[in-house]
């Protein structure tokens, strides 16, 4: 082995592809093996050349980058895929990682970051565009604690009224409707609800719905 990382490129925009090509060629430790401008052609090329790294555009005709990535991960697990994309939404990133991509690079910053990305991925790492990294770790899991249903740890005792009010609230009834159903005042509904939620140490209405769902409260409607 020469120690060079062998690279295949796939993008349906010819000028962009030309840019990428010269970027790879200008880098000493990278070897350019070939390129393709459709998803199917790229898959074929990868099968033939078995590169270390395949740099693949997400939106390509015939076979989009995500599906291509999934196929490559299944059939040629040694080939590592870096997805190139215009999408900055985190939703797309989640999807790319699920498909087995080892790198996720924004097209806009490809000039700066792609070479680093290829090196990192070829070395067995995972590379995510710096401008997206902040968002990955910014999710609810890290900032506001776990969002799992808290159904397991019920040591507190709810009063009958509190439980009734919470059940109805979890099913999506407004306070006014709950007050009418239970024949109590709006103010009391609010009080019962607040007390019950505090006892169960739930933080939001969505938390309450999750809790109710785990307890099976929503099933017997």
Binding footprint of other proteins on the chain (CB under 8 A): 13, 15-16, 19-20, 22-23, 26, 59, 86-92, 94-95, 106-112, 131, 135, 138-140, 143-144, 147, 171-172, 174-176, 186, 190, 194, 203-207, 209-210, 213, 218, 221
Neighbours of 218 (CB within 10 A): 14
Find the distance separating the first CA and the last CA of the chain, reported in whole Å. Answer: 67
Supply the minimum distance, in Å, between the C-beta of residue 21 and other proteins: 10
- Looking at the Cβ atoms of 1 and 221, the one nearer to other proteins is 221
Bridge partners for 105 per DSSP: 84
Cβ burial 129-166 (10 Å sphere, 16+ → b, else e):
beebeeeeeeeeeeeeeeeeebeeeeeeebeebbebbb
The nearest distance, CB 144 to other proteins, in angstroms, is: 5
Least separation, in Å, of the C-beta of 143 and other proteins? 7
Q: Name the residue nearer to other proteins (CB basis): 123 or 144.
A: 144
What is the smallest separation between the CB atom of 26 and other proteins, expressed in angstroms?
A: 6
Instruction: Using the minimum distance from each CB to other proteins, give the nearer residue, 31 or 177.
Output: 177
Q: To the nearest whole angstrom, how small is the minimum distance from the Cβ of residue 166 to other proteins?
A: 14
Tell me the three-class secondary structure of 115-137, residue by residue.
HHHHHHHHCCCCEECHHHHHHHC
Q: Give whichever of 48 and 133 is closer to other proteins, judged by the CB atom.
A: 133
Closest distance to other proteins from the beta carbon of 204 (Å): 4
**Strand 80-85 with 103-106, pairing:** parallel
Query: Quick one: angle between helices 186-199 and 175-182, nearest 10?
Result: 100
CB-wise, 50 or 100, nearer to other proteins? 100
Give 135 or 181: the residue with its C-beta nearer to other proteins.
135
Identify the CA nearest to 122 among candidates 51, 39, 28: 51
How many C-alpha atoms does 35 have within 13 Å on its Cβ side? Answer: 22
């Amino acid at each position: 082995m020469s120690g060079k990382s062998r690279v295949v490129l796939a993008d349906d925009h010819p000028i962009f592809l030309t840019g990428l090509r010269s970027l790879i060629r200008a880098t000493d430790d990278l070897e350019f093996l070939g390129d393709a401008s459709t998803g199917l052609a790229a898959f074929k090329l990868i099968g033939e050349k078995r590169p270390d790294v395949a740099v693949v555009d997400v939106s390509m005709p015939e076979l989009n980058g995500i599906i291509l990535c999934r196929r490559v991960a299944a059939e040629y697990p040694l080939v590592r895929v870096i997805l190139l994309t215009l999408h900055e939404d985190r939703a797309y990133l989640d999807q790319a990682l699920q498909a087995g991509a080892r790198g996720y690079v924004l097209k806009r910053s490809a000039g700066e970051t792609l070479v680093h990305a290829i090196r990192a991925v070829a070395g067995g790492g995972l590379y995510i565009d710096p401008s997206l990294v902040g968002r990955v770790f910014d999710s609810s899991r890290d900032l506001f604690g776990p969002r799992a249903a808290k159904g397991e740890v019920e040591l507190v005792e709810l009063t009958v009224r509190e439980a009734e009010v919470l059940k109805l609230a979890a099913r999506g009834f407004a306070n006014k409707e709950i007050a009418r159903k239970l024949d109590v005042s709006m103010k009391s509904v609010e009080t019962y609800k607040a007390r019950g939620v505090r006892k169960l140490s739930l933080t939001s209405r969505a938390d309450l719905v999750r809790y109710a769902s785990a307890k099976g409260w929503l099933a017997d409607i």
